Structure 1
Amino acid sequence: MKLPFLLVLSAFSGTAWANTVELGQIEVYGKKQAEQLAVERKSRAQIEQELIRDSSDLVRYSVDVGISDGGRHNKGFAMRGVEANRVGINIDGVALPDMEENSLYGRYGNFNSARQSIDPELVRDIEIVKGADSFQAGSGALGGAVNYRTLNAQDLLLPGQRFGAMLKSGYGSRNREWTNTLGVGAHTGRFDMVLLYSQRRGHETESAVKGDDTYGSARGLPDPSKHRYHSYLAKFGFQIDEAQRIGASVNGQQGSRYTKEYSYALFGSQWRDADDKHSRFNGNLHYEWMPDSAWLALLRADADYQKTGLDAVNYKGTRNWNTQVPELDEIYDRRINSAYKRLSLRLDSQPLRWGGEHILSFKVFLSRRDFETVNYDTIGVGRSWQQQTMSTIQYPMKTTQTGFSLLDNITWNRVFSGRIGARYDHEKVAPKDLNAPCSTACLDEGKPAGNSFSNWNGLIGLNAQLNPAWQIGYTLSSGHRVPTASEMYFTFTNPYGTWQSNPDLKAERSITHTLSLQGKGAAGDLDVNIYQSRYRDFLVEQEQIIATPNPYYDQCAWYGCPQYDQTPKHQMVNLDKARISGIEFTGRLNLYRLLPVGEGWKLSGGLGYSKGKLSNETSLLSIQPLKAIIGLDYEQPEGRWGVFSRMTYRGEKKPGDAKVTEISGSRGNLVQNVVTYPWLNSSATVFDVYGYYKPLKTLTLRAGVYNLFDRKYHTWDSLRGINANSTTNSVDRAGKGLARFYAPGRNFALALEYKF
């Protein structure tokens, strides 16, 4: 631990050389505005340089940010101690739908519980906002948000071009994935457009350790899989006159991942193949007016539409006892569909002088989201009694939302600036009529009552520019998350457990305080953030042990069987409070400003550490262990080539920070205890090297070698996704199955891009 920590500190040692090195001047006069704190930005150049191909690549060099890894299904991001639906994901300002999952179906893996996403090939920049951000992102941004913006025409054009095209091909060895992209763009002054198509095809991500090639939870190799994803983007814009512009865009993705689940663990001869499918379509129409006005700078009206689908087609059966050949018995086709429509209006003011300079931004919006599940199950495949049924696990839902927000960007003088904002959201959830037959427990409860949620969120940011190089700031922000349909309305009854609905749930709430220090100048830059996030009305699945009459007591009483069975009851409740505190800093030094080395040498570093727990003495497993990064880079001044190196230290998860509840015992004598999570990662240090070379201004070759020294290690995100009581993504008691959860060993990535 000591070496990486000292190396990271050395990345910022230049800040202590104030007597000999002055940071460059930063002009803060005029319309200098307060910046949003604790925001990490990835530009198009960084996305390409770091060979970012998915969400795990995106956070590879981010401190205090992880992913929510569920095995077959990536469930989003983890930051500020929370994950999945508690971290918003937006594409061009439109939120992706929440993941819908309950612990019952999560054990069996029959549903596709992944979070929707966007291919980085379609993206021009990414913002990772750390801390509560419902003022900007709405419901779901309890711990932060990840905001994607799609490519524009200029991103595909060379300098001076009006028309252009791009061809790109890439390969990654860790999952034998090929990526091929074709795009065209035009920018003629009044008209601009971009068309882009990208395809990915690959296999399972390899593990650094080769375990046993067997069946069941003791399997030591990743389950074989194949995937193919298709992504597309189209944008058109037209400048009507100097003040008016209209535009339209569509982007989306569809694809499937077919997995031979050799690690499936129901009982010995059972097998399952899973075909996880996803589809997403986003469309937008907008109008902009920038009048010659003393008070109005911009009017923008948007109409957005989004349609998503998550399917899981499960092929199940048994292996012939003699030949071990799989025989198909059942096909479970489980579908989750959602549709979203939104109208919004935005008004931005010109600078207004009321005891300082104010720039106001007002937004008003109206939206509707529809959600449903439907199952198409076929049993007795190939038999005379083959039968297909259609069903659903809960009532379809309609959610309507109205709201508005007002933001004031203030500049009082050359030193002080600020951001003050307020937002109101009203969301009404209303069950619709059943779209298919439902379970007995679902029907017994009848059509549930609706619910409504009214939430105010705010933002206060104050900055002080101490001198041209140094700035301190404070931000107070809030967040909320409305419960999902599954959390409120799912119900199921079974002798081995009961899942009870709770339509009276409240929205989760969060508040984040952030203190920051920023330094920017010719010698480099430094960002230090100290934060505390508080959560209340935290939604957890409460497990209680209940006694139910044993239906077979009269027949087995003389055997000594219990009159009452003890079974766990599961219900979502607003139970806990949580508090997470931490510190993170990142920095970059231009070494040629400090040392006798050539221009282009840079030293970078980062450190993230956080700690916290729930009010019931259990832990938030999504809190990331300590992570430290240091990099040494060289980029040729003319931009012809560059080489970048990264050393990443991943800290261990300590037992005291991984406490969970566990129910154990027999059917008639169950006990609930707080125990240490059984699978903890050890610390590891990993080295990466990547770079680019441009033999021509139109041609760029990029390459990277990751885990250069072939380190064998687990990430905390992969281990905490293991489901102990599950038929999928589980391990055996002896721990042999942990071999398939190792991070990839030494691997490489290549990309070739040609613009013309």
Structure 2
Amino acid sequence: MRTSSTVLSLAVAATLLSAFRPSVAAEEAKAQQLNKVKVTAEDEGRSTVGNAKVVGVKELEEEQAQNFEDAIRYIPGVSIVDMGRFGDNGFNIRGLEGDRVALTVDGLSFAESVETTPAYEFFRASRGDIDIDSLKGMEVVKGADSITAGSGALGGAVMFTTKDPYDYLSPDGNDSYFRVKTGYTSSTDELMTTATLANRTGPVESMLLYTRRRGHDAESWYDSSPIATGSGRRTPDPIDHESDTVLAKVDFLIGDNQRFGLVGEYSRATNEINNLSRVGGPGYLTRRADDDKDRDRYGLRYSWDAAGTFFDSLEWTADRVETKSRGLTTILAGTGCVPVNVVPCLRSENRATDQVLDRTALDLTKAWRSGSVGHDLIYGLAWQKREVDFVAVDSRYIGTTRDTSSVTVDPDQVPNTDVTSYSAYLRDSLYLLNDRLTLHAGVRYDRTEYSPNLDAQFVDPTGSVRDVEFSAPTWQAGVDFKFTPEHSVWAQVGRGFRAPTVGELYAPTQSSIVTEVATGNQVSLWDSASNPNLESEESLNTELGYRWQTDSLQIGLSAYRDKYTNFVENAEFILNPGTQYRSCTGTTCTVTQGKEYTMAANVGEVTVKGVEVEGRWVISQQWSARLAWAYSEGEKGNGDPLPSILPASGVLGIRYQSPTQRWSLTGNVTHAEAKKLADAVLTETAANDFFTSLVPDYLSNEYTVLDLFGDINITKDLRLNAGVYNVFDKKYYQWPRVRFVNEGTTTLYGYVTGDGIGRYSEPGRNFRVSLSWQF
């Protein structure tokens, strides 16, 4: 922990407890409530999956969420996969992670993962792709929901919705709104400012939102390290983070029920990293990184609310999203200075990805009743095209000058590829028996076509790269029955799918020259190849639940079993097993029976099952309580555990709201079980990737953490939010981070020695504070 953070945290806590005393009359305090900010996500969300959590902007601001990890802090069974150098590498939901959890913002999918190598990753170098202050809400779906989220929603989905002008304006007439919010987060030493301007003049609504963030590395529990460099470094590598985000929207109101709008987003984020934990020996005298991530979005949208024959509401959108990510690593090396032998020397490694997404979609809704039977129908179709490209350039310099001794353009990680997708969906919710019985049923069809473009930058010596296509029908069905006004049971079953990524299909293909032992002929055989015969990954998700709901009490209990098939992983194969080949490296030659090569393949299946509990209790007008708990276990087809399963965890929250509604105070206790060794050990044949060890060197510990946060309306236009997190300064580790860490060596990523594991610990006692003013 950092001493300064501890003192300031205690000061914030004292301020919270002393400030929350009514100092004005009840009527005056009531008038001082925020009366314009009414940005909310739809309470029921878009998904009909039984376990879907909607987090609105009010909850995000009360909890002072600054990034995706903060946003899901109190949702058990969900975590961030913080391994991406260019940004958070997605979410973990019920043990499924990365591209197996769909991520969308306003219906637009995030850029897909393009793997490089573990050496080009950095721990906690990211802040996510979408700034949290531009969101009006997020919906976290546990379990497959391809009807809503499409490809990738195997284990679940996270769907973000950005703010709109009408969220801030009065329902009718000309109106203007301005708000500025500034805040500080001690764990990252981050200062942020968000300014929001909204206006309606006649038939034109507009909004401009700008967020600026300046911060540093996320601290660990330790505030110092006896070892400054190398794998024994106990504190995180220094990071300077900057980001600027602009969200602009203009809507033209056409009559009472139509609007046409323009949307634009501009995002620039940089991380400057002094990679001290990788410095060691003569190879790495210094190692630095300069990473940039740019995201631009341009879009049109049209909506029409009309009680017509075929639809009640119609929404058409057309968007382009350009995402550019660059990771520049600069190394001062004491060895390997070639071709010009001047020691020490500089070398740089530039890795960049560029993705462009074009999408247009039409979504419609229709609700009607026929006697005692009600229908709630949604349907639509979409087209999108994604262009994926990657480039790698290695430069060597003469000594420490900027004069290059060599520049090597490495073969692309993937070929420049166009991915075109078509989809159509329909889902109906049927209400029977005076709405006591609800039936949900939906179907969706997706077709995805891949067109790689081979050129001098991506050479395919194997001849295995070619156009491929995937098609996948998916479905979902569910029932909800209220056998009394307070008690109900529900069940659902659904099919999810995920088409392979460009990286899985077309990762570098290579061949080498070997000699046939029998004939002495030299032949070129595969070392790695693409697999155009891959099938989409699929899931079958089943879940059964019970709810007890009264005016003051809500309790939900569910049990689920999810089965995933056709998992895509790199596997080893033997080419021509009946032939002996000799291959030589230097003066060493080996003879093998057949030629071994690697290729992505559908290699196995996984079963995940678990139990989840959610409860809320309105104790009185001032007091309320919340409980959430999740337990999962996963097993691969060969009997091995699924290492990515999160340990059981739960959240207990108590909230007090003042009688005048002027201030509130919340205490959340988070508890997580330790990761057991038996749930993480794999057999020798199971460790196919770099980040999977047969026996993990580190396991997360059991921990219990208390967070205390609250807010006060100082005046009707001035609001203060403050909070102390990890109040009792608990030292703890989270499994999603330490499971990637191994003990040993001094230069490779993910390895630590001695006290080095300390840099993966979570922050100690820390605080956040923000002040917002509006008119």
Name the TM-score class by shorter chain: 0.7 to 0.9
Among 44, 50, 60, which residue is 2:63 paired with? 50
1:528 aligns with 2:557: yes
Among 133, 152, 167, which residue is 2:145 paired with? 133
**Cα distance in 2 between the residues matched to 1:481 and 1:423:** 13
Aligned-pair RMSD on alpha carbons? 3.2
1:134 offset after TM fit, Å? 1.2
SS across alignment from 2:556: strand
**Cα distance in 1 between the residues matched to 2:742 and 2:397:** 29
Contact 2:113 2:503 in 1 (8 A): no
1:358 aligns with 2:375: yes
**Cα distance in 2 between the residues matched to 1:41 and 1:351:** 26
Residues 346-385 of structure 1: per-residue CA shift (max 9 Å, x gap): 2322415398222322211121111111223322252655
Q: 1:406 to 1:188 in 2, by over 3 A?
A: same
SS across alignment from 1:582: strand
Q: 1:549 to 1:423 in 2, by over 3 A?
A: same
Residues 59-97 of structure 1: per-residue CA shift (max 9 Å, x gap): 211111111121745211001220011111110111112
Among 219, 229, 246, which residue is 1:232 paired with? 246
| Structure 2, gaps ≥5 residues long | 1-43, 337-342, 513-525
Residues 456-481 of structure 1: per-residue CA shift (max 9 Å, x gap): 11111211122333322112122111
Q: 1:259 to 1:60 in 2, by over 3 A?
A: same
**Cα distance in 2 between the residues matched to 1:664 and 1:404:** 37
Residues 505-553 of structure 1: per-residue CA shift (max 9 Å, x gap): 1110012112122233321322222111110001123357999744157
**Cα distance in 1 between the residues matched to 2:408 and 2:65:** 42
**Cα distance in 1 between the residues matched to 2:585 and 2:384:** 52
Residue identity in the other structure for 1:551: C
Percent identity, aligned pairs only? 28
Residues 387-442 of structure 1: per-residue CA shift (max 9 Å, x gap): 434342331111111121111121123211122110000101111133x524xxx4
**Cα distance in 2 between the residues matched to 1:256 and 1:120:** 17
Q: 1:567 to 1:229 in 2, by over 3 A?
A: farther
Quote the residue 1:186 is aligned against.
Answer: 199
Contact 1:34 1:409 in 2 (8 A): no
Residue identity in the other structure for 1:602: S
Residues 717-739 of structure 1: per-residue CA shift (max 9 Å, x gap): 1112336799554223x443211
Quote the residue 2:607 is aligned against.
Answer: 579
**Cα distance in 2 between the residues matched to 1:268 and 1:133:** 52
Residue identity in the other structure for 1:578: V
Query: Where in structure 2 are the equivalents of 1:304-703 lying within 5 Å?
Result: 304-318=319-333, 329-351=346-368, 353=370, 356-380=373-397, 382=401, 385-391=404-410, 392-414=412-434, 415-434=436-455, 437-438=457-458, 442-446=459-463, 448-491=465-508, 498-542=527-571, 549-552=582-585, 555=587, 570-592=598-620, 599-661=621-683, 675-703=694-722
Residues 608-639 of structure 1: per-residue CA shift (max 9 Å, x gap): 10011111233322211010211121111332
Q: 1:655 to 1:723 in 2, by over 3 A?
A: closer
1:570 offset after TM fit, Å? 4.0
Contact 2:557 2:613 in 1 (8 A): yes
1:45 offset after TM fit, Å? 0.6
**Cα distance in 1 between the residues matched to 2:593 and 2:754:** 31
Residues 166-215 of structure 1: per-residue CA shift (max 9 Å, x gap): 10101111110111111101245733221100011111111113443332
Residue identity in the other structure for 1:396: N
Contact 1:549 1:565 in 2 (8 A): no
Contact 1:426 1:455 in 2 (8 A): yes
Quote the residue 2:37 is aligned against.
Answer: none
**Cα distance in 1 between the residues matched to 2:326 and 2:145:** 30
Q: 1:426 to 1:493 in 2, by over 3 A?
A: closer
Q: Name which of structure 1's ranges 625-634 and 345-354 shifts more when overlaid on structure 2.
A: 345-354
Q: 1:639 to 1:494 in 2, by over 3 A?
A: farther
1:247 aligns with 2:275: no
Among 294, 299, 308, which residue is 1:279 paired with? 294
SS across alignment from 2:661: coil
Contact 1:211 1:739 in 2 (8 A): no
SS across alignment from 1:473: strand
Quote the residue 1:747 is aligned against.
Answer: 766
**Number of equivalent positions:** 696
SS across alignment from 2:563: strand
Residue identity in the other structure for 1:505: L
Residues 589-610 of structure 1: per-residue CA shift (max 9 Å, x gap): 1122xxxxxx311121111100
| Structure 1, gaps ≥5 residues long | 1-30, 593-598, 666-672
1:500 offset after TM fit, Å? 3.6
**Cα distance in 1 between the residues matched to 2:235 and 2:374:** 61
Q: 1:112 to 1:606 in 2, by over 3 A?
A: closer
Query: Where in structure 2 are the equivalents of 1:107-118 lying within 5 Å?
Result: 107-109=119-121, 117-118=129-130
**Cα distance in 2 between the residues matched to 1:714 and 1:256:** 27
Quote the residue 2:312 is aligned against.
Answer: 297
Residue identity in the other structure for 2:413: I
Contact 1:279 1:310 in 2 (8 A): yes
SS across alignment from 1:660: coil
Contact 1:335 1:375 in 2 (8 A): yes
Contact 1:34 1:418 in 2 (8 A): no
Contact 1:345 1:364 in 2 (8 A): yes
Q: 1:602 to 1:66 in 2, by over 3 A?
A: same
**Cα distance in 2 between the residues matched to 1:616 and 1:216:** 38
Contact 1:122 1:151 in 2 (8 A): yes
Residue identity in the other structure for 2:347: E
Contact 1:34 1:463 in 2 (8 A): no
Q: TM-score, normalised by structure 1?
A: 0.86
Residue identity in the other structure for 1:404: A
